[in-house]
A and B are shown apart, each in its own frame.
Chain A
Amino acid sequence: MKKNKNYLISEKFTKRHIFLTDFLSALANTKTGLFGAFVVLLMFFLAIFAPWIAPYDPTLIDVPNRLQPPNLSHWMGTDLAGRDVLSRLMWGARPSLQVGVLAVLIGMPGGIVIGLIAGFYRGSLLETILMRATEIIAAVPLLIVAVAIVGILGVNPIDLGFFTITNEIKIVFVLGILYIPGLARVVFAVASTEAVSDYIRARKTQGVRDFSLIFGDVLPNCLSVVTVWATLLTAGGVLAEAGLSFVGLGVQPPDASWGVMLSEARKFIFSGEWWLLFFPGLAISITVIGFNLFGDALRDILDPRHYTGPRID
């Protein structure tokens, strides 16, 4: 959507220029994409407006009514301390989405910049250094390292005086850094192709500085892949946060998070309180499915090379 000042490149630009209306209609054509978008919006809505729309206080303890199956006053039942499961579910969207989105936001600057610079200067020493460095980070299995680092740092908030590093912040940073290689590689692929394309060469001969070329022209063209990748990484982040909370390294009980709710439900898997296990797991699944479907739909729309049409046979 950048305004082009130079008519020579405008044609190339508009070919990849997706107008919002085209985009929305393309999205509406895919049922799954629409469902995904709906889920994403719903989860963000819940996360943001939970304090206002949750029927009960998620920390309200009500022992006489504990472990009730879903009924009229508690649509998803109550948990071991009598807290309303539905309210906890709504509030639980917050840490999951926070971690998912923030981790991606933290990884994006690094990943994009590295990918752009490495792609633009492909073949140079700079590129080798940058890409090798990201390969080192990528050489470790993500979940294991995330678990290990968060575990080593401990689950206690680290007090730096003016600022407390809570557990969530630790997770967000660790995941964000671990996301950089993936983003960098994806951006690198696009940037390196763009860097040798005609219009960039033309602009270079016109004397435009590299910096504005990279961030002015190549970057917007990478945005589509970045968006797709970011959506998929958010899905991964939601899963990672839930998983870390489940093993006790993320959000700590008694705060609400879907992973924590699942871990609290473990005591009741044989005694018949199915709703404690079912709803949080369903929430995680639907959210992740939603993000994944949305990301897939985005990819289908934005990347003309990704062919999913009928077989030519």
Chain B
Amino acid sequence: MSLINSINRRNFLITSGSLAGLSVLPWMSPNAAFGADQTLTLALPNNPANFDPAHQANHDTMACSQVVFENLLEVDTDGNIQPMLAKSWSVSEDGLTYIFDLRDDVYFHNGQKMTAEDVKYSYDTVRDKKYKLRRRSLWTPIKEVVIESPTKIRFDMEFPYNDLPKLMTKYMGVWPKGSREPGQPGDAAGENAIKKGPVGLGTGPGIFVKFVSNDYVEFKRNPNYWRKDLPKWNKLIFKVVPEDAVRVAYLLTNQAQVITAPPPREFVRLKDFKGISGASKPSYGFMMLTMNLAAAPMDDVNFRFAVSRAINREEIAQLFGGVFTPHAVFTFAGNAPGRPFNLKAERALDFNLDSAKEYLAKSKYPNGTDFELVIPAVPYIVNVSEAALLLQGQLAKIGIKVRIQTLQMRSYFKKAFGKDKTNNMHVFMNPPSTTYGLAGQFFSGRKIQLAKNFEKLYPETSKEFDEATRKAWASKTSAEAEVHVEKMQGLIARECTGIAIGNVSAANLWRSDVKGFDVNTCVTMRTRNLSLE
């Protein structure tokens, strides 16, 4: 008898002890403000591959490189060009000469003063094949960079290129002279310092501190920042959180004060929640299908038209609850000045099931066929996996079977843009330029040309396209450019060499006690003005 009692007593003690312990827990609430010492945490879905402003592929992780590096001009959160390291600038009548007057009070994080020498070095190295920078081809229209004085610099262009100021924020930066050479003394640790950990090499509001891959990036306040009263934070942390729902949970539990790429349903629900603020702005990016024009079945024009006309873009837009605007041509939502919109092209490519069936009947696959579609596993701006599922269902209605394959980023890039060039569906984000999205895909001089084989397969269209692009770049006003970009849209629609699904908006959610946050129409989170009240 006593043994049973002793066991029960032992167990009783254990259970009551643990219950007592558990009851302490609610008092340790985690919701005390994490920003107690002015540390701001932002959550990103993707892991930064590097911090080099001229080598970025992902517009979310550009937020990291933009904390450290700056440029002559910048694009503000509404898409307008503003002076930055250059306090004023001018462009000649013929568009071939740009003159920048540099600020005199800018210092790199290592104490060195910024002069025209550094700017020249930066623009020379990005154009030099030796450094193998991803965004090199965006800057090759610069023929020569000439130093006129320590605070005045001149860009001579090969041809008129009005995209130049618009690309500076996303695809370029100013780094100290000599910083890309191997074996640097001081803060720069070898030629990969800018990519791996640019301590001391930028002019921006934050100094790079630490990067733990797939975990977080840390920056500390630049006390000698040329904008005298900024930044207000002491420490800035970007946390890498690939899962949508967990990112939202981080926001709700104050583990992160600002998040990007919120899942659409959560965004709609939470933006009016107590303690949380949310907003969205139309961006210049679109969701699209990139096809392998050289391989079956996408090498058949009629098949491509069938696919484009079978996609019910309105239905896809329903998935995203307001942060997505369906379009069949590559254009942008909102009232951007000079917004090109070739209505005829749109009508030729948009949803029309009967027309889709007609095209299919005319193609090589009147009884339907199948093709493979790869999508990225980690959401980029928005999550395309649900849209891909819808697309699969819609194409199935006319007998086209889509095999969806979800791949992690690296495998995805390999399969989609490598040797295989598998058809893929993704979001292509652009700077606030009306030509960039189209030129990026189809212009013959571009390295990041997505629709490769375009020149080879459709040489006349390609030539006309290049011509229209150059004219758009030479335009003096946005209305003038609009005409040329509409022509570009029409050329793509002619053989349906690109299928657009719609415009994505940039959306963010943040805690209401964060001040100074403005959604960036260019998506990348701006951290300079943030503070906690």
Given A63-B393, A155-B405, A252-B405, 15 extra CB contacts under 8 A = A61-B389, A61-B390, A61-B393, A81-B389, A81-B390, A81-B393, A248-B408, A252-B404, A252-B406, A253-B404, A254-B389, A254-B392, A254-B404, A270-B248, A270-B252
Report B284 CB to chain A, min CB distance, Å: 26
Number of residues in A with C-beta < 8 Å to the partner? 18
Q: Which residues from chain A contact B244 at a C-beta distance below 8 Å?
A: 266-267
On whether the beta carbons of A269 and B404 are closer than 8 Å, the reply is no
Q: Give complex CA distance A154, B249 in Å.
A: 31
A35 at the interface (CB under 8 A from B): no
Q: Give complex CA distance A209, B377 in Å.
A: 59
Question: A253 with B386: in contact, given A266-B243, A267-B245, A271-B266 (CB under 8 Å)?
Answer: no
On whether the beta carbons of A154 and B411 are closer than 8 Å, the reply is yes
On whether the beta carbons of A271 and B318 are closer than 8 Å, the reply is no
On whether the beta carbons of B408 and A63 are closer than 8 Å, the reply is no
Q: Give complex CA distance A156, B405 in Å.
A: 9
On whether the beta carbons of A270 and B266 are closer than 8 Å, the reply is yes
On whether the beta carbons of B245 and A253 are closer than 8 Å, the reply is no
Report A272 CB to chain B, min CB distance, Å: 9
Q: Which residues from chain B contact A271 at a C-beta distance below 8 Å?
A: 245, 265-266, 269
Question: A253 with B243: in contact, given A63-B315, A270-B248, A271-B265 (CB under 8 Å)?
Answer: no
Q: Which residues from chain A contact B411 at a C-beta distance below 8 Å?
A: 154-155
For window 23-82 of A, CB contacts with B under 8 Å fall at 60-61, 63, 80-81
B431 at the interface (CB under 8 A from A): no
On whether the beta carbons of B266 and A253 are closer than 8 Å, the reply is no
On whether the beta carbons of B249 and A270 are closer than 8 Å, the reply is yes
Q: Which residues from chain B contact A63 at a C-beta distance below 8 Å?
A: 315, 318-319, 390, 393
Can you give 5 A-B contacts (C-beta < 8 A)? A81-B389, A81-B390, A253-B385, A254-B392, A270-B266
Q: Which residues from chain A contact B276 at a C-beta distance below 8 Å?
A: none
Report A105 CB to chain B, min CB distance, Å: 28
B263 at the interface (CB under 8 A from A): yes
Q: Give complex CA distance A155, B410 in Å.
A: 13
B407 at the interface (CB under 8 A from A): yes
Query: Shortest 3 CB-CB distances between A and B: which pairs?
Result: A61-B393, A81-B389, A267-B244
Q: Give complex CA distance A253, B404 in Å.
A: 8
Q: Which residues from chain A contact B390 at a C-beta distance below 8 Å?
A: 61, 63, 81
Question: A266 with B245: in contact, given A81-B389, A252-B405, A253-B385 (CB under 8 Å)?
Answer: yes
On whether the beta carbons of A267 and B243 are closer than 8 Å, the reply is yes
Q: Mark B368-407, 1 if CB is under 8 A from A, else 0.
A: 0000000001000001011001101100000000001111
Q: Which residues from chain A contact B408 at a C-beta distance below 8 Å?
A: 248
Residue of B nearest to A61 (CB): B393
On whether the beta carbons of B405 and A268 are closer than 8 Å, the reply is no
**Residues of B participating in the A interface, judged by any CB pair closer than 8 Å:** 243-246, 248-249, 252, 263, 265-266, 269, 315, 318-319, 377, 383, 385-386, 389-390, 392-393, 404-408, 411, 415
Residue of B nearest to A253 (CB): B406
Q: Give complex CA distance A154, B405 in Å.
A: 12
Residue of A nearest to B252 (CB): A270
For window 201-237 of A, CB contacts with B under 8 Å fall at none
Q: Which residues from chain B contact A267 at a C-beta distance below 8 Å?
A: 243-245, 263, 383
**Residues of A participating in the B interface, judged by any CB pair closer than 8 Å:** 60-61, 63, 80-81, 154-156, 248, 252-254, 266-271
Q: Give complex CA distance A156, B404 in Å.
A: 12
On whether the beta carbons of B245 and A248 are closer than 8 Å, the reply is no
Q: Which residues from chain B contact A156 at a C-beta distance below 8 Å?
A: 405, 415
Q: Give complex CA distance A266, B415 in Å.
A: 26
Q: Which residues from chain B contact A154 at a C-beta distance below 8 Å?
A: 411
On whether the beta carbons of B392 and A61 are closer than 8 Å, the reply is yes
Q: Which residues from chain A contact B406 at a C-beta distance below 8 Å?
A: 248, 252-253
Residue of A nearest to B391 (CB): A61
Residue of B nearest to A264 (CB): B385
Residue of A nearest to B386 (CB): A80
Q: Which residues from chain A contact B249 at a C-beta distance below 8 Å?
A: 270
Q: Which residues from chain A contact B389 at a C-beta distance below 8 Å?
A: 61, 80-81, 254
Q: Which residues from chain B contact A155 at a C-beta distance below 8 Å?
A: 405, 407, 411
Q: Give complex CA distance A83, B245 in Å.
A: 21
Q: Give complex CA distance A156, B415 in Å.
A: 10
Report B425 CB to chain A, min CB distance, Å: 13
On whether the beta carbons of B315 and A248 are closer than 8 Å, the reply is no
Report B295 CB to chain A, min CB distance, Å: 15
Q: Give complex CA distance A61, B390 in Å.
A: 7
Report B250 CB to chain A, min CB distance, Å: 11
Q: Which residues from chain B contact A60 at a C-beta distance below 8 Å?
A: 393
Q: Which residues from chain A contact B269 at a C-beta distance below 8 Å?
A: 271
Q: Give complex CA distance A61, B405 in Å.
A: 17
Q: Which residues from chain B contact A81 at a C-beta distance below 8 Å?
A: 386, 389-390, 393
Q: Which residues from chain A contact B248 at a C-beta distance below 8 Å?
A: 270
Report B264 CB to chain A, min CB distance, Å: 10
Report A161 CB to chain B, min CB distance, Å: 18
Q: Give complex CA distance A252, B375 in Å.
A: 12
Q: Give complex CA distance A248, B377 in Å.
A: 9
Q: Which residues from chain A contact B243 at a C-beta distance below 8 Å?
A: 266-267
Q: Which residues from chain B contact A252 at a C-beta distance below 8 Å?
A: 404-406
Q: Give complex CA distance A248, B405 in Å.
A: 11
Q: Give complex CA distance A63, B408 in Å.
A: 26
Report B402 CB to chain A, min CB distance, Å: 10
Residue of B nearest to A157 (CB): B405
Q: Give complex CA distance A268, B249 in Å.
A: 11
Q: Which residues from chain A contact B386 at a C-beta distance below 8 Å?
A: 80-81
Q: Which residues from chain A contact B265 at a C-beta distance below 8 Å?
A: 271
Residue of A nearest to B383 (CB): A267
Q: Which residues from chain B contact A270 at a C-beta distance below 8 Å?
A: 245, 248-249, 252, 266
Q: Which residues from chain B contact A61 at a C-beta distance below 8 Å?
A: 389-390, 392-393
Q: Give complex CA distance A189, B326 in Å.
A: 67
Q: Which residues from chain B contact A80 at a C-beta distance below 8 Å?
A: 386, 389
Residue of B nearest to A80 (CB): B386
Q: Which residues from chain A contact B263 at a C-beta distance below 8 Å?
A: 267
On whether the beta carbons of B318 and A268 are closer than 8 Å, the reply is no
Report A80 CB to chain B, min CB distance, Å: 6
Q: Give complex CA distance A254, B401 in Å.
A: 13
Q: Give complex CA distance A206, B375 in Å.
A: 68
Q: Give complex CA distance A181, B165 in Å.
A: 66
Q: Give complex CA distance A268, B386 in Å.
A: 13
Q: Give complex CA distance A80, B248 in Å.
A: 18
Residue of B nearest to A67 (CB): B265
Q: Give complex CA distance A266, B377 in Å.
A: 13
Residue of B nearest to A255 (CB): B404
Q: Give complex CA distance A172, B147 in Å.
A: 66
Q: Which residues from chain B contact A248 at a C-beta distance below 8 Å?
A: 377, 406, 408
Residue from A61, A252, A253, A267 with most neighbouring chain B CB atoms (10 Å): A267
Q: Give complex CA distance A81, B389 in Å.
A: 7
Residue of A nearest to B385 (CB): A253
Residue from B243, B252, B265, B319 with most neighbouring chain A CB atoms (10 Å): B265
Q: Give complex CA distance A61, B388 in Å.
A: 11
Residue of A nearest to B315 (CB): A63
Report A313 CB to chain B, min CB distance, Å: 9
Residue of A nearest to B263 (CB): A267
Residue of A nearest to B388 (CB): A254
Residue of A nearest to B389 (CB): A81
